[in-house]
Structure formats: C-alpha cells, structure tokens
Structure 1
Amino acid sequence: MASQRLRPRKSPTQQRAVKTRERILDAAARVFAEHGYAAGTTNRIAEAAGHSIGSLYQYFPNKDAILAELVTAHARDGIASIVRQLRDGLPDGLEERLRLFVRAAIDNHRDDPALHRVLFEEAPRPPELLDMLRRAEEQAIDTVAGMLSADPAVRVADTAMAARLVVNAIESLVHRFFAHGAADDIDRFENEVVAMLTGYLTCAGTGDAGTAS
C-alpha cells in the first residue's frame, strides 16, 4: 500500500466537489509544467485553481499526493489508448504495426512535455502505480511477442527478448526525445525509430549468437 503521505484525503461523490477536485488537478498540472516540482507549491496550485489553501487540503495532504495522482491518471490514459488501438486491430505490415506502438507512445507524451518531465523524473511513485505500470508493460510485451512470432518477416531468433527490447526502447526513446527534442522533429523521430526497429527485427541472423548452445 502507498504511504499515507501520497494518498488523497477523500474521493468526492457530489458533483460540485468532483469539479473542485478536477480544478485543483488541472491547476496543478499547469503550475508544475510552468514552475517545475520545487516551485510548484500548494499555495501556487490553490491560487491557480481559484480556491483557498484550506480547500486544497481537504482533498490532498501535500503536493506529492497531487503529483502522484497526476502520474497515475497520465499512466491510465496511456494504457487506455493502447488498449483502444489494439481492440481496433493491428495493421497488416510489420512496419505499420511498429508505427502504431511508437505513435501511441508519442501521443501519450506530446501534449505537455514540460509537465511530463516533472511527472516522470520528479514525481513520487506509489507502489500501486508501479504495479500498474509493470502489469501494463508485461501486457504490451506479451502482445508484441505474439505479433513478432506470427510475422514471417521477423528474423530474430529470440522473439520474447526482442519484444521486451522493442517495448522498452520505444518508451525510453520517446521519453528522452520529449525531454530534449524539438517539437517540429516529431515526424522525423517517429520515422527513424520505426526504421531502426524494423531493421533490427528483419535482419537475418539477429539473435543467433545469443541462442546458440
């Protein structure tokens, strides 16, 4: 269980209270994106939300609890996006299938890179969130492993490890790009990541050394 410090104080049920909580979270996202973690104080968040600091503390005990809530919501949105795309079915070709995963990761990062840096480089991560992220990662790896095993264009010998590398590489590369890249280079970045992964997966002899006995 997460520590009490990172727990919201209450989950409102009345519509007015729900909207107040949403305004606080929206204001926190703006404040953290503009000022960063250290300067993103609860006073600033309350002022940006148009509420008193006392109202904020009715819902969250501190800014770390707000950050943890923002990280959790962001992660859930990203997972839901992947699930929706998988439900609609995968494209036919390997390159376009890889592009689907790369683009989903890009879409999950592109809205507010400054906020994303705070969320994933500075925010606390409760155990429940870490468990959710691990489950989502393993589900993505299993999906990609099945996709690679069934694709005759794939030449890697160890598709299970290749799937893990693909999922981890996409997440890491996309995160670093949005932390340091230029917004007008997104299409170039997407194309190069897809080309890199396609080349790795279709290269004859890839992984042979690691499977030899």
Structure 2
Amino acid sequence: MRAELTRERILTAAAHVFAEHGYAAGTTNRIAERARISIGSLYQYFPNKDAILAKLLVRHIDHGTWTQADQLDLSPGSLEATVRTLVRDAIDNHGDDPQLLRIMIEEASFSQELLDTIDRHGKTRVGQVRDLLARHPDVGVRDLDTAAELIVFTVEMNTHKLMADPRAIPVETFENELVDMITRYLRGPARGAPRPGETAEGAPG
C-alpha cells in the first residue's frame, strides 16, 4: 500500500513538473523534489523519466474508459445526441492539461505495457461503440465493425490533436462539426440513393 502511494506521488509530481517545465527540463531531480522523496527512492520505482512519462500515458488511457455507454437513450431520433455524448466524453477525458497531453503524445516511449494498454483500450472502446450502433434504430451504415473502428479512430485522433493545442479551434466549434460529420455518416446512404456500382434504378451501371 505504501509503495503504491509513493508511486502515485511520483506520477502526480511528474505531471506537474512536465507541465510547468516541459519534458527536457523536467528532470528526475525536479520530480523527486516535487514528490518530497530522495532521488534514490524515485529510482526504486522508475529507472528514468521516460518510464515515468510512459506510465502517465498508460494511466491517462486507462482513465479514458467510456462509462456512459449503457445509460444512453437509444430511441428513434436520438442519434445526434448519442454521438454528442461520445464526442464530449472524449473531449472531457483530454481537457485537464493541454501541455501535459502534448508532451505525452510527442515524447512518450512506447513500452510494451503502453502498447498493450493502447490495444486493450482500443478494443474495449470499439466494442462499446459497435454494440451501441447495433442497437440504435437510426444507424444505417453497411458494416458495423468498420464503422465502429472508423468512429473511434476519428474521435480519438482529432480530440488528441485539438486538446493538445486548444487554441487552434474553439472546442464548441470542434464538437459541433465532429458531431455533425459522424451523425451524417451513421445515418447511411440516403433512402433510394444508388449504392456504388448501381444506377438509380438499382441495376449495375
């Protein structure tokens, strides 16, 4: 228990140090001083600051689990509200400290633990979204598996990019445009519109 508390103190201190000083100047000495432990104690838990940053990213990803997926209204006409919940959840999970997020994206070394966490989180998120699409009456995409992958990738990558530099686009504008784009995609082809390779009458072109 004490060891876990010390590890958390180091991670919390590192998050503050990296955000305040940047990664290059965020030395292990500064982290140890902020955590109020000796540098020797810090090295008992982490071999270097790369390992600390990688662990911060693992923690960030694990905290990004979508907890509202089972509480959504899936009645007809609610698709836009459903998509907005998904997008807003991603924004909220990345809004705490833009500078630290940018450092984690740009500087983190990809340890096996980090790669495994990314893979596990991705599969969980895609599975949640696919289940949601399968149950929503307004969804009209051709392939649910592909749609779930595309949506998760689009939301995650664009949210990371925006929240690492929130001055680029107002968050409200970003949210509205992303919600509109995904909602239109999920509704599928317009009724009566020909599918690729077909004429308007449905015969091969």
For the pair shown, the structure with the greater C-alpha radius of gyration is 2
How far off is 1:183 after superposition? Answer: 8.9
Residue 55 of structure 2 corresponds to which residue in structure 1?
A: 69
Q: 1:85 aligns with which of 60, 68, 77?
A: 68
Residue 41 of structure 2 corresponds to which residue in structure 1?
A: 55
Letter in 1 for 2:38: S
Q: Unmatched 5+ residue regions in structure 1?
A: 1-12
Tell me if the contact between 2:98 and 2:165 (Cα under 8 Å) persists in the aligned partners: no
After superposition, where does 1:53-202 map in structure 2 within 5 Å? 53-79=39-65, 82=66, 84-87=67-70, 89-92=71-74, 93-182=78-167, 185-202=170-187
How far off is 1:105 after superposition? Answer: 0.9
- Between 180-189 and 40-49, the greater mean CA deviation after superposition: 180-189
Letter in 2 for 1:57: Y
CA 1:199–1:130: 2 relative to 1, 3 Å: same
Distance of 2:131 and 2:7 partners within structure 1: 41
Residue 7 of structure 1 corresponds to which residue in structure 2?
A: none
Distance of 2:168 and 2:7 partners within structure 1: 31
Residue 26 of structure 2 corresponds to which residue in structure 1?
A: 40
Post-superposition CA distance 1:146-180 (Å, at most 9, x none): 32233332232222211111110000110111122
Q: Unmatched 5+ residue regions in structure 2?
A: 198-203
How far off is 1:114 after superposition? Answer: 0.7
Post-superposition CA distance 1:40-88 (Å, at most 9, x none): 1111211222222122122221111211221111111112xx1x2124x
Letter in 2 for 1:209: P
Residue 209 of structure 1 corresponds to which residue in structure 2?
A: 196
CA 1:176–1:46: 2 relative to 1, 3 Å: same
- Between 141-150 and 28-37, the greater mean CA deviation after superposition: 141-150
Structure 1 stretches of 4+ with a deviation exceeding 6 A read none
Post-superposition CA distance 1:100-148 (Å, at most 9, x none): 2111111110001111111122111222221222122122222222322
- Between 179-188 and 41-50, the greater mean CA deviation after superposition: 179-188
Residue 200 of structure 2 corresponds to which residue in structure 1?
A: none
Local SS of the residue matching 1:38: helix
TM-align CA RMSD: 2.6
